[in-house]
Structure 1
Amino acid sequence: MAIVTRKIHYASLLCFLLAVIVQTEAQSKLNIPNTSFSPGAIWPDNNGLHINAHGGGIWYQNGIYYWFGEHKIEGKKGNSAQVGVHCYSSKDLYNWADEGVVLKVSDDPKSDITKGSIIERPKVVYNKETKKYVMWFHLELKGKGYAAALAGVAVSDKITGPYQYLKSLRANAGKMPFYPHGTPETEKVNCADTFNKANKFFYRDFAGGQMVRDMTIFMDDNGKAYHVFSSEENYTLQIAELDAGYTGYTGKFARVYIGHQTEAPALFKRNGIYYMIGSGCTGWAPNEARWFTAASIWGPWTFHGNPCKGPDAQLTFNGQSTFVLPVEGKKDAFIFMADKWEPQNAIDGRYLWLPILFKDDDIQINWLDKWNLQIFDQ
């Protein structure tokens, strides 16, 4: 009798396990939507594939968020572009639909964006006057490492592309920086100061244009757009005003945090104050984040230290800043977007999205294993 009972028990257990497996597979096929963020986890799109939009930025329009980022391929080391720039769309920020590759690398070996070039940190803005979507990205020429230090520009009539490559350039050739009121003399370009590496590289590149590496695009309330990028061999950040069409520069620019090697800039604005989050320069390895504020986009900018709190805060939770996203319809709701780079297999790079919390005008970014947008309602 005991043997019969045991067999019935095992049979019941087997049926239960099979039912669980079937239910799990059914849920997977039904593509049950996400209702929260899980920083550092695999983030499937509507096709069940990990979102492929690294070093990205987001543009919001007509109730839809569009996420643009670097497309990576399986098993590829480093950061060379084999495909181009990928786009995804979402109405709720949790669930993303694949919109495809919107800027493709070129098959022409003479093209600046030929397959094997480096295309990093793409950002898209919309120009109301020209009715064009304008994409900026950091561009390095194939086989030249990071020596070219160019900005790439592409345009499209539709937000989901295709984007047509327009040109590459360095920044503000033959132009001197703008100095806001209160700029210390120590932060101004001094051609006699040959010991200051930032000044040395600024003058080296003066005639041909300033270097462009890690970058973002910031759109201000008045419709003016700014290109923010690491320059002068990464020893300085530069903030450069874009022209009316957003495809070039006006010649007005400022230098920020001179001599301290900052990259991965991400800007946002709250209560009339400009905020910027960035990182140090340690290659692919994570380091401590840093944040700044200013009353004007031109500065002077004030350094405030590390905004991150919690485990691995000194390593920005093993990630690096790429963008700060304002959440539409919610007051003081900003998401810190960071990438956890995987240089040995770049496609496995994970996304670290975390809420930015405010205490008066100070910010703090805490690690959370899981969270949703209701945190901004508290």
Structure 2
Amino acid sequence: MSRLKKLFDEPEQEYQSFHPGELWLDDQGNHINAHGGGILYYQGKYYWFGEHKSANTSQALVGVRCYSSGDLYHWKNEGVALPVDENNKLSPIAKGCTIERPKVIYNAVTEQFVMYFHLELKGQGYRAAQVGIAVSDDVKGPYKFVKSLRPNAGIWPVNMNQDQRTSSLTADDFKEWWTPEWRAAIVDGLFVRRDFEGGQMSRDMTLFVDDDGKAYHIYSSEDNLTIHIAELTNDYLNYTGKYVRLFPGGHNEAPALFKKEGKYYLITSGCTGWAPNAARSAVASSIWGAWETLGNPCRGEGAELTFSSQSTCVFPVYGEKKSFVFMADRWNPKNHLDGRYVWLPISFENGKPIIKWAKEWDKYVFD
């Protein structure tokens, strides 16, 4: 019996396999409410953090919810990890703001759990494009809101050259978007210069902790046109100022980053609102690049639309960094509460990550 199989053996329970896209009930018999989420493995348990959705709005009326599991099939509702602020209407996380794609990592030095999330201020649509940061001494929370901001104000990306930094072109020089000239200007950092003083836009995001304990914030920036990877300080609460741009003008969002056998892999999606599109993948030998595109990692029925879902996280099984699960959301804008989850195992073919559709699968594929 393999180590994985021994660790995963559980008494006979309701769920003995994954059913992507179907209702997934928690220990209280309710559909799991943790959308756009991420997984943290800590002291033998998995913790799933995600957006608590309401049926008729994508605004945050409750906050970030936490679930725990020992086997990945059965999830205990641990309650609201980060509640919205119902008392202070001026709080960045006031009830009615937008909280998306929360991710939690553990800092072994400070012994704190650190949560990052995409934050849009109440009543401002998607103009704020900030990241929110919260901390807790307990993995389940409650998390205390620390601050929100746009990353790396007054700092240039390390892979943006001097000519790009000093170009006199501004957004006002272009009456039309999407022209060849405008696209070229985006690649050359048009929006980086626009947002230089106030900080770079941060929307869809994930977090990644490398083998040396260094942590990174990966986020969609420049009006969702370019992915940024930014290094965090040792306490994971600030930025060191070192960051790079990935695929400028490529229009990527929903980043999910993981590492296998010394190589870094990134899965993203295109930008089509609530509607699904084809996933994208890339690989690099260093997190700073150069990054090589690998195309759509999905295979099977519905692969051209990522099985009607969108990436949110890739996590290692039992933290072993050998076997990985692709975690995605099947959005339902007519009833956000009914959004479903698509989890599938990742395999590799010729050094490329492959995600094959399966109507049902179990953890023993990792044996």
| TM-score (norm. length: structure 2) | 0.90
Pick closer, same or farther for the CA change 1:284–1:89 going to 2, 3 Å.
same
The residue correspondences of 1:1-378 to structure 2 (distance < 5 A) are: 32-73=13-54, 75-77=55-57, 79-107=58-86, 108-179=88-159, 191=167, 195=182, 196-198=185-187, 199-328=189-318, 332-377=322-367
Q: Comparing 209-218 with 330-339, which one deviates more in the overlay?
A: 330-339
Structure 1 runs of 4+ aligned residues shifted over 6 Å read 185-188
For 1:206 and 1:63, how far apart are their aligned partners in 2?
42
State the Cα distance separating 1:40 from its structure 2 match: 0.2
Pick closer, same or farther for the CA change 1:67–1:129 going to 2, 3 Å.
same
**Residues 239-286 of structure 1, C-alpha deviations (whole Å, 9 max, x = no match):** 000011101100000000111110000000001000000000011110
Report % sequence identity: 55
**Residues 140-166 of structure 1, C-alpha deviations (whole Å, 9 max, x = no match):** 000100000000000111001100111
Return the letter of the residue paired with 1:351.
Answer: Y
Return the letter of the residue paired with 1:164.
Answer: K
Pick closer, same or farther for the CA change 1:304–1:190 going to 2, 3 Å.
farther
State the Cα distance separating 1:129 from its structure 2 match: 1.6
3-state SS of 2:318 partner: coil
State the Cα distance separating 1:359 from its structure 2 match: 1.7
3-state SS of 2:74 partner: coil
Q: CA RMSD in A?
A: 1.9
Does the CA-based 8 Å contact 1:330-1:376 persist in structure 2? no
Across the two proteins, how many residue pairs are aligned to each other?
342
| TM-score (norm. length: structure 1) | 0.87
Pick closer, same or farther for the CA change 1:188–1:303 going to 2, 3 Å.
farther
Return the letter of the residue paired with 2:139.
Answer: I
Does the CA-based 8 Å contact 1:187-1:258 persist in structure 2? no
1:21 equivalent in structure 2: none
Return the letter of the residue paired with 1:371.
Answer: W
Q: Which runs of 5+ in 2 are unaligned?
A: 1-11, 171-181
For 2:261 and 2:121, how far apart are their aligned partners in 1?
40
